[in-house]
Amino acid sequence: MDARYFNPSMEAAIKEAESKGFEVIRGTPTALLLDLDTPGQRLRFEEMYVLFLEFYEPDWDPEQWKSKGGNTHVVLHLKNPLPVEHRIALETILGSDPKRSLFALERVKAGVEEPGLLFKPKLKGLEDTSIPRTFGLGTVV
């Protein structure tokens, strides 16, 4: 995906995903939404998550699932709300797709209050698994 495909409105993508049976996970002030597309991004998450826990306290263990493309989506639920720009920065620091982060910042600039979302397949073998708090991502089923 590159800038020519960027659209600040996410409604068309949301409608398409819902029509295909995906659950839409929307950003909130207490959620970090990570899209880990490469082994390097997963490794970065595993390395940075330990440091992240020194500064932030998740509300409960992270959720993860395989994306439609076979990569990993992660949701970290925080005890305390954070401003959207702070969340986008943390998502990037934790290894989330940097293009996704750039597009999220552009959506904020365009007036979108909550630019983050992930699509969760409702297919066997792609369900949530808990990520142990001290062991990074563990195994994605």
Rounded distance between C-alpha atoms, residue 81 and residue 135, angstroms:
24
Domain positions in the chain are: 26-118
Q: Identify the pLDDT of residue 27.
A: 93
Where do we find the tokens 């994306």? 67
Residue type, 106: E
User: How confident is the model at residue 138, as a pLDDT?
Assistant: 43
The Cα–Cα gap between 122 and 108 comes to 29
In this prediction, the residues of the chain whose per-residue pLDDT falls under 50 are 1, 126, 128-141
Domain 26-118 - what CATH class? alpha beta
pLDDT score at 82: 97
